[in-house]
Structure 1
Amino acid sequence: MQIYTTVDEISADAFANGGAVAIGKFDGVHRGHRALLARTGEAAAERGLDPLVFTFANNPLSFLKPELCPAPIMSRAQRLDALAAAGVTACVMVPFDAALAALSAEDFVTEMLVQRLHVKYLCVGADFRFGRGGAGDVALLEEMSTKLGFVVEVIDEVEDEEVGRVSSSRVREAIIAGDVARAARMMGRPMSVRGEVVHGDARGRDLGFPTANLGGEVEGLLPIDGVFAGWAIVDGVRHPAAISVGVNLTFEPEGSPRVEAFLIDFTGDLYGKRIEVQFVERLRGMVAYSGVEALVVQIEEDVRATREILAMH
């Protein structure tokens, strides 16, 4: 995938055939986003245009009203990887800064979409807003498109028969609440975090359940504390895993929260590797146990439940 991190990187002939442009935040790259991406790809093929995504490296609220900005579901790198996996071949991911915030809605269309991206087809969600103060909307796009020679198509929200409306805000709420199964239903894949495996206190190994501890900056939004069934992706290979998020209440109730994954039936050295941890279902909350024996019994039950759940996935 070709990635542009500033508009100045876009050469005059970058989209010489004309751009079929999908615009959005794409946080979570959920099923609604993928419907928009799929339609953009179809339109590009039908019209002989260059398909591309325009998005921001940061949520505009992080610049405009940081106190109101929600936690991102994905890191920038995770979003780019998910867009590439969805078939995107070119992505313009620029920082939302003072210059963009000051751009009027009309200037955004003429300077960014028409002059920079050579837009001939534009695909947006029904609630898309743009330009200074969010003054621009779909009605303005449609009005300007007739004058400037491009087509606007609006993609309705995706409705799931089980969980209802699919949106980034609802995915975020589900993850934070620990309902990772509902989040996965809306995303069309398990939600995940990733990071580097670091040395821990080796307590899991002493108990017979060595865990991969994610340290440093962990990419992705963490769910509420608890134990989860899921997967660990190591060097492109998926392994079943029982995952713990939070503080070890039995041994270190005042310790720092962390992500630990016990890779079931895995042998090998993971230290220093970057792995991805995918969450499938929450098993239980965090509990302080009376001693090692009670804790080991519970871990054995967690592993058994994880095997059973993953067998259905």
Structure 2
Amino acid sequence: MKIVNIHHPIDDDFRNDAKVVLAMGYFDGIHLGHQEVINRAKEIANQKHLPLAVLTYDHKPAVVYKQLSPHERRNIIMNDEKMKFMESMGVDKVFLVNYSFNFQNQTPQEFVDNYLIKFNVDTVVAGSDHTYGAKDATMDLLPKYAKNRFDVVSVDLKKFKYEKVSSTRIRRNLDDGHIKTVNELMGRPFHTVGTVVHGLARGRKLGYPTANIEHDELQWLPAIGIYVVNVHIGNDIYHGMASIGRNVTFGNSNPITVEINLLDFDNNIYGEVVGIDWLYRIRGEVKFEGVDKLIEQLKDDEDFTRMFFKNN
């Protein structure tokens, strides 16, 4: 898959040589609704024997038109993982546009002429709620701006029973710890990527050594709590139980950390970049009166985790 990075204004002499079928959207999370849009574009591309391309953006468009808190700026899926997932879906080319004020400030007609025509589109596919240009033109208006130069396909997700699938709903469920619902809306386990770093080694002293995972600050994470996870290290997958929390048993002002106890595992993995599949939330974080009570709970969490993998 080829990734073409674009900064507005696009070069006057920019031209995509081959005709393409283009799917448009930010696609944060690439949930079931997003997948429906991309798969519809793929079907058309296959029928017309054309490459499948995607127009997407390097960060949330909302950054341009309103102030976002650090939490709101986070993404369900980071760009590197988004690109990998798109490639797995059969996308041939991604036009990755820097979403700036000047890019957004184009009129709908300028957007079509400056971008879609230069991308040499045969067909443009997007969700029925997709907007573009300074006036937030809708997909219903795109044929007017296309002027018979390309076909327009608007995907009404309600027809595919995905009317309740949205990135907003996924983010809300992540904040509420409803990871099972998140995974249903995404059609796969919620996945994050982080680096194993040194922590305070409390887990090892308790008999539950943990890998401390440092995530990108723009990565949306599930709510504080204890989770069943799969951890990808290289080409291998390991079962584990993860804690997102402040280790409140050891104080009330600790920073939030992500720590994972890998079952039946004793290798040194400091510095490894690992992928985490968040599968199930066991419980919330609890402040225990003493280390012994905490160890008892960790044993219960381990038993639950082992039983989860035995039954799934």
CA distance in 1, matches of 2:99, 2:169: 23
Query: Which residue in the other structure is 2:139 paired with?
Result: 138
- Deviation for aligned residue 1:280: 0.9
CA distance in 1, matches of 2:244, 2:261: 12
- Deviation for aligned residue 1:72: 1.9
Residue type of the partner of 2:241?
A
Residue type of the partner of 2:86?
L
Alpha carbons of structure 1 residues 71 and 159: separation in structure 2 relative to 1, 3 Å? farther
Query: Which residue in the other structure is 2:186 paired with?
Result: 187
After TM superposition, the structure 1 = structure 2 runs for residues 34-113 of structure 1, keeping only pairs within 5 Å, are: 34-67=35-68, 71-113=74-116
Is the 1:74–1:219 contact (alpha carbons within 8 Å) kept by the matching residues of 2? no
SS across alignment from 2:248: coil
**More displaced 10-residue stretch of structure 1: 177-186 or 251-260:** 251-260
CA distance in 1, matches of 2:43, 2:249: 54
Is the 1:245–1:257 contact (alpha carbons within 8 Å) kept by the matching residues of 2? yes
Is the 1:159–1:166 contact (alpha carbons within 8 Å) kept by the matching residues of 2? no
CA distance in 2, matches of 1:297, 1:216: 29
Query: Which residue in the other structure is 1:125 paired with?
Result: 127
SS across alignment from 2:247: coil
Is the 1:193–1:219 contact (alpha carbons within 8 Å) kept by the matching residues of 2? no
Is the 1:249–1:288 contact (alpha carbons within 8 Å) kept by the matching residues of 2? yes
Query: Which residue in the other structure is 1:174 paired with?
Result: 173
SS across alignment from 2:249: coil
Residue type of the partner of 1:246?
G
Deviations 1:95-149 (A, max 9, x none): 11122022101111111101x2111111110101110131x1112112233x232
CA distance in 2, matches of 1:170, 1:270: 35
**More displaced 10-residue stretch of structure 1: 19-28 or 148-157:** 148-157
Identity percentage of aligned residues: 28
CA distance in 2, matches of 1:159, 1:175: 26
**More displaced 10-residue stretch of structure 1: 1-10 or 52-61:** 1-10
Alpha carbons of structure 1 residues 158 and 307: separation in structure 2 relative to 1, 3 Å? farther
The answer for unaligned runs of 5 or more in structure 2 is: none
- Deviation for aligned residue 1:304: 1.1
SS across alignment from 1:53: strand
**More displaced 10-residue stretch of structure 1: 98-107 or 303-312:** 303-312
Residue type of the partner of 1:253?
N
CA distance in 1, matches of 2:127, 2:248: 44
Is the 1:207–1:296 contact (alpha carbons within 8 Å) kept by the matching residues of 2? yes
- Deviation for aligned residue 1:87: 2.2
Structure 2 length-normalised TM: 0.92
- Deviation for aligned residue 1:25: 0.9
SS across alignment from 1:192: strand
2:291 maps to 1:288: no
Structure 1 length-normalised TM: 0.92
CA distance in 1, matches of 2:42, 2:13: 22
SS across alignment from 1:25: coil
Alpha carbons of structure 1 residues 108 and 94: separation in structure 2 relative to 1, 3 Å? same
Deviations 1:169-222 (A, max 9, x none): 111111111101100001011112221111111111111111110126356311
Residue type of the partner of 2:39?
A
The answer for unaligned runs of 5 or more in structure 1 is: none
CA distance in 2, matches of 1:2, 1:241: 35
Query: Which residue in the other structure is 2:148 paired with?
Result: 148
SS across alignment from 2:229: strand
Query: Which residue in the other structure is 1:253 paired with?
Result: 252
2:202 maps to 1:203: yes
Query: Which residue in the other structure is 1:276 paired with?
Result: 275
- Deviation for aligned residue 1:38: 1.1
Alpha carbons of structure 1 residues 148 and 9: separation in structure 2 relative to 1, 3 Å? same
SS across alignment from 1:148: coil
CA distance in 2, matches of 1:33, 1:307: 33
Alpha carbons of structure 1 residues 216 and 171: separation in structure 2 relative to 1, 3 Å? closer
Alpha carbons of structure 1 residues 9 and 267: separation in structure 2 relative to 1, 3 Å? farther
CA distance in 2, matches of 1:85, 1:158: 25
CA distance in 1, matches of 2:13, 2:35: 27
SS across alignment from 1:176: helix
Query: Which residue in the other structure is 1:241 paired with?
Result: 240
Residue type of the partner of 1:292?
V
- Deviation for aligned residue 1:158: 5.8
- Deviation for aligned residue 1:78: 2.2
